[in-house]
Amino acid sequence: MTYSSPWAARFAGCAVVVSAVLLTSCTTSDSGGGKGASSSQSPAPSSTRTSTEPSEKKLTEQAQAALAAVHTGKLVEAGVERVTDGIHTEPGLSKRKTYRLNLVCAGSGSAQLQFEPAKAGTAATVPCDRSVVQQRIAADELVRINVDGAKGATGVIAWQIDAL
């Protein structure tokens, strides 16, 4: 495209920059919101929270601090998930080795821990009270770890697997 004056070229460049900024601000999702992207039409997640309910960021910090306090061994895998999303992982564990799974749920309600195959570990309830739940994992074959929130549970689950 050619412009008849330098002013027109500058104006066109500014218009492109302003359009990009506006487009970005309308499509950026808030990481603290629920699933999917938020739009400028929906209320901010903080507007629906009560002042006493901790933010997802704060709950994540609390859960990670609790895990850091019990960390032993060599870290194999770790993560933080929303309770509503749960944890569903098949970590790369070496056969005939023992591992420790540490879980912390911060929020309200509880979650259920299960292993596939069931003999890899012990099923347990994980309360969302920031207490650490530890399980030994016997990796004799491929292990799948599933943690699903109970109905109505909210918050985050932080987890880590350490080689012993």
The pLDDT profile of the chain, 164 residues, written as one tens digit per residue, is: 444 444 444 444 444 333 333 333 333 334 444 444 433 344 444 445 555 667 999 999 999 999 999 988 899 999 999 999 999 999 999 988 999 999 999 999 999 999 999 999 999 999 999 999 999 998 888 999 999 999 999 999 999 999 98
> Cβ(113)–Cβ(146) under 8 Å?
yes
Q: What is the pLDDT of residue 52?
A: 61
Largest CA distance in the chain: 76
Cα distances from 52 to residues 46, 55, 61, 108, 118, in angstroms, run 11, 9, 17, 13, 39
Query: What was the pLDDT predicted at 99?
Result: 94
pLDDT at 71: 87
Q: What is the pLDDT of residue 73?
A: 86
Query: For the chain, where are the alpha helices, taking DSSP H only?
Result: 6-27, 45-48, 56-70
